């Protein structure tokens, strides 16, 4: 028996990495010497066995999914009513959730991607934008459930609004603009040094926050629900006005222990502000610009970052410490209440981040606590 030869046959076997047909293919390729010319004529189709082997070889080498092995269709249902909202045909297996959101927006422009939450289960967690379709536990037709997150606003806008308000409001009380304390106190100043020092510290804190928002922070999520900005601004602006009213009041009484108390509190405030900024810089360096990379934060050469040895969120620890220092400096009850409420909220956030670290990283340092070393 003769085996096929010539340039076309040689190219076919070369595609398989072979110089001659494998043994299992030869029975299908033998012909009598007198019936078949020594070479294949031009444009002769390869035998069925050889054709199937070429297909499988290509899938194996290139990593292409086998036919029907990956979802090519996506249906999107309403998470509440189970109504079919959209059916996407011929979706690429390597498409991300972000790309599917963009396709969904073309049929429902009122739901731009930032408003969309796509889930595998109606009551499950939202899928991440970087999740790939072919890696999800779905069948031939992927069923995703949609939930509207409501109108969105960027985190940068939220933070700038939250922090600019207290800065401006506090200064209104500090300069005693009209209709706050009475006409005889309009545009007057306090005779107590601690009042002026408190204004400097309060302004420095929020100016620092504004600059960090613009030049330091890298957000893992681009937007947040618009309704949250009203709640957040009420909290920050309301407490700023309450604190500023009493600290800058003409009848304000300075701290009990005088200059010693003020100096100690000022030292606490400055140290914690430097620590908070150092932690923000360390966290920034963990995430390259434009990415959502998550890594375990570790101490750097900066001594203020050594608190990472004991807590998962030292930025919150320093933040609470700053307000405790401010409360000691001013000896003002509204400041103490603001510190307590802030500590409660930041503890909730710190516990959530701590659980995420433990879940995501198996080698996460076991000694760390969420916000207070050895306690909480």
Burial label, 323 (beta-carbon count in 10 A; 0-12, 13-18, 19+):
buried
pLDDT-based confidence at residue 16 (cuts at 50, 70, 90)? low
**Distance separating alpha carbons of residues 166 and 209, to the nearest angstrom:** 11
pLDDT at 33: 43
109-118: average pLDDT: 92
| Residue 15 pLDDT level (bands cut at 50, 70, 90) | low
Cβ–Cβ < 8 Å for 20, 12: no
Residue 352's pLDDT band, with cuts at 50, 70 and 90, is: very high
Helix axes 155-174, 227-247, angle to 10 degrees: 20
Contact partners, residue 222, CB within 8 Å, separation at least 6: 114, 154, 155
**Contact indicator for 22, 13 with CB cutoff of 8 Å:** no
pLDDT at 20: 54
Mean pLDDT of the region 70-88: 86
Instruction: Dig out the tokens for 59 from the structure.
Output: 């899938």
Q: Give dist(CA 291, CA 182) in Å, integer.
A: 53
Q: Place 34 in a pLDDT band, splitting at 50, 70 and 90.
A: very low
CB within 8 A of 216, min separation 6: which ones? 280, 281, 284
**More confident: 364 or 222:** 364
Please check the confidence at residue 130 and state whether its pLDDT lies above 50: yes
The residue with greater pLDDT, 24 or 231, is: 231
| DSSP annotation string for 94-131 | T-BHHHHHHHHHHH-TTS-GGGEEEESSTTSPPPPTT-
More confident residue, 208 or 2: 208
| pLDDT at 94 (0 to 100) | 87
Cα 233 → chain centroid: 22
Please state the pTM of the whole predicted model.
Answer: 0.75
Q: 275-320, pLDDT tens digit by residue?
A: 999 999 999 988 877 677 789 999 999 999 999 999 999 999 999 9
Q: pLDDT at residue 69 above 80?
A: no
């Amino acid at each position: 028996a003769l085996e096929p030869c010539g340039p076309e046959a040689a190219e076919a076997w070369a595609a398989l990495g072979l110089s001659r047909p494998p043994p299992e293919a030869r029975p299908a390729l033998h012909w009598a010497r007198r019936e078949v010319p020594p070479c294949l004529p031009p444009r002769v189709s390869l035998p069925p066995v050889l054709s199937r082997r070429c297909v499988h070889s290509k899938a194996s080498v290139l990593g292409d999914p086998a036919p029907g092995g990956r979802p090519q269709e996506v249906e999107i249902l309403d998470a509440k009513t189970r109504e079919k909202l959209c059916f996407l045909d011929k979706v690429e297996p390597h498409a991300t959730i972000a790309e599917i959101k963009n396709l969904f927006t073309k049929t429902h422009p009122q739901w731009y991607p930032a408003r969309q939450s796509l889930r595998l289960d109606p009551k499950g967690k939202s899928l991440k934008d970087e999740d790939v379709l072919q890696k999800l536990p779905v069948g031939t037709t992927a069923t995703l459930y949609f939930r509207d997150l409501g109108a969105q606003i960027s985190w940068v806008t939220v933070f700038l609004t939250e922090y600019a308000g207290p800065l401006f409001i506090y200064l209104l009380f500090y300069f005693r603009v009209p209709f706050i304390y009475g006409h005889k106190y309009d545009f007057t100043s306090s005779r107590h040094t601690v009042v002026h020092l408190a204004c400097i510290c309060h302004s420095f804190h929020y100016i620092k926050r504004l600059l960090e928002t613009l030049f330091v922070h890298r957000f893992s999520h681009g937007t947040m629900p618009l309704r949250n900005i009203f709640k957040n601004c009420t909290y920050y602006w309301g407490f700023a006005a309450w604190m500023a009213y009493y600290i800058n009041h003409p009848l304000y009484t300075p701290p009990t222990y005088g200059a010693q108390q003020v100096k100690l509190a000022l030292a606490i405030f400055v140290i914690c502000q430097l620590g908070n900024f150092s932690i923000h810089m360390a966290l920034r360096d963990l995430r390259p610009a434009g990415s959502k990379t998550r890594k375990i934060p570790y101490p750097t050469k900066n001594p203020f970052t050594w608190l990472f040895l004991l807590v998962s969120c030292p930025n919150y620890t320093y933040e609470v410490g700053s307000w405790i220092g401010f409360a000691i400096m001013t000896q003002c009850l509204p400041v103490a209440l603001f510190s307590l409420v802030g500590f409660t909220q930041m503890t909730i956030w710190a516990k959530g981040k701590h659980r995420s670290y433990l879940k995501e990283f198996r080698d996460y340092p076991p000694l760390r606590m969420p916000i207070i070393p050895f306690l909480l």
